[in-house]
Amino acid sequence: MLNLTDITVRLGGRTILDGATAALPPGSCIGLIGRNGAGKSTLMRVIAGQLEPDGGSVDKPRGARVGYIAQEAPSGRASPFDTVLAADTERTRLMAESETETDPDRLGDVYERLIAIDAYTAPSRAARILLGLGFDEAAQARPLDSFSGGWKMRVALAALLFSEPDLLLLDEPSNHLDLEAVMWLEDFLKAYRATVVIVSHERDFLNNVVDCILHLQGGKMTLYAGGYDAFERQRAERMAQLAAAKASQDAQRARLQDYIARNSARASTAKQAQSRAKMLARMQPIAELANDPSLSFDFPNPKELRPPLITMENASVGYDGAPVLSRLNLRLDTDDRVALLGRNGNGKTTLARLLAGQLQPMEGAIAKSGKLTAGYFTQYQVEELDPADTPVEHMTRTMKGAPQGAVRAQLGRFGLSGDKATTRVGRLSGGERARLALALITREAPHLLILDEPTNHLDVDAREALVQALNDYTGAVVLVSHDRHMVETAVDRLVLVDGGRAREFDGSLDDYYAFILKGEGAAAAR
């Protein structure tokens, strides 16, 4: 049992956790959820022993090994395979000792322990984990410094999974993964035999993996049985009960106040009025359920264009004369909702850039409607926002000559109104910066939205609001996302980008899930 008792943490003069208490069942997979800024990562650091709470205690089983992914990605000349193997420090130490030990008795103990910890199957286990996270045999042997930061973080995740801690702590593990790797991770965690605590904003991932939900709100924790959908049902029931209790309390409060006002000045009823006043003072207020204005996404609808928006005939695209994708024959109409599937590195972003007009075809033809406008969202745009400027300043520069009312209205569509509109970008959360990037790319009501991983900084509620906004939007959408729920609910066409081609995937996302797990080839594409 992992017991969290009266955990209090204050950071920067603000109380993040306020007497939070929960008892987490052993051997379970717990999903830790809450709005951005609720304190999820802070709580994970407390559990991992990296942050000392201002009050309260964390009680773990004696001798339990805790695994928490490092914030810095591994680097150097070592390969991913060697890095993952080295994560099992006991195996590494014993293997080295087995090569130098001369005492027969001690050598026998070493070999016995190596057999007990499955040391000789470790290389195959390490390779399977790396393969599941997207590293083929050649990539497993390359030096770490030849990979991008996102791929290095995959190595860090692989090393953590390989080390098999008794308490596995994962803070948004899917942020650096593609959909295929997320699917593999789901299956890995479902078979994991120890206790797991996961911070995630992906409802399908939570539904498929966790046994219970730990909801963090207002510095307190509440444990719910089941996956995310079960949590939503239970929370809705609890919210209805709170609303009814508050209405009842408000009515009682009004009656008491009315009695006190009418009877305090009369000698015959003064004592009763004083008694009612004490009762009123002791009455604990029931918190009102706040309507969060930040859950706002509203894409401006474009003017109608005659289809098709884009057609490609035997087009190829790439960089420096080397094609990444060839023989592209795709058509995009005004009402299309398309998800690009395929492992990272297979060309999804290259195809998105071709559709957005950032790349031109090397061969073949691409035809676009003459009045077509496209809004293209990437994480790079979020990272390139000037931290010293405010959302109003960013939008004013982009909407040259537009009145301030129009600038503010566009920001308000994405929950950046009031003080948020004049807060420096460097002080905004990751989700708020993503909202600003979305507001900037949609300022001209584009006919086509191309969204490359738009959910990385959004919590579950914000992701659901984004899905609803996309479903209300009347233009075309091309989506790259590892969030399975978003793909299932916001698109109706699947295009598989694999092996230098991009072709319609003939099936549902469940079919694609089975296709990935079976490791089948391009036969599922047509």
Total count of residues recorded for the chain = 526
List the strands of the sheet with 167-171, edge to edge: 66-68, 167-171, 195-199, 29-33, 212-217, 220-225
Q: Which CATH architecture has domain 1-65+165-226?
A: 3-Layer(aba) Sandwich (3.40)
Q: What is the mean pLDDT of the chain?
A: 88
Q: What is the pLDDT of residues 151-186, one digit of tens each?
A: 999 999 999 999 999 999 999 998 889 999 999 999
Q: φ and ψ at 29, to 5 degrees? A: -110, 115
Backbone angles phi, psi at 204, to 5 degrees: -65, -40
pLDDT average, residue stretch 476-501: 93
User: What pLDDT does 28 receive?
Assistant: 94
- What are the tens digits of pLDDT across the range 372-422? 999 999 988 888 999 999 999 999 999 998 999 999 999 999 989 889 999
As a whole-number percent, the residues of the chain with pLDDT over 90 amount to 60
Give this prediction's pTM.
0.80
- Place 302 in a pLDDT band, splitting at 50, 70 and 90: very high
User: Quick one: pLDDT at residue 198?
Assistant: 96
The pLDDT, as a whole number, for residue 523 is 36
The whole-angstrom separation of Cα 402 and Cα 404 is 6
Cα of 231 vs its chain's centroid, Å: 18
- Residue 125: phi and psi, rounded to 5, are -65, -45
Q: Where are the alpha helices (DSSP H) in 101-200?
A: 104-116, 122-132, 137-141, 149-163, 179-190
Look at the domain 310-524 and name its fold. Answer: Rossmann fold (3.40.50)
Beta-carbon contacts of residue 33 (< 8 Å; ≥ 6 apart): 40, 199, 200, 201, 206, 213, 214, 215, 216, 228, 231, 459, 460
pLDDT band at 295 (very low <50, low <70, confident <90, very high): low
C-beta of residue 309 within 8 angstroms of C-beta of residue 337 = no
Predicted confidence (pLDDT) per residue in 214-226, tens digit: 999 989 999 999 9
In angstroms, the Cα distances linking 205 to 172, 216, 294, 505 are 11, 18, 24, 22
H or E segment and range at residue 395: helix 391-398
Instruction: Provide the token pair at 63.
Output: 């001798």
Under the banding of pLDDT at 50, 70 and 90, the label for residue 525 is: very low
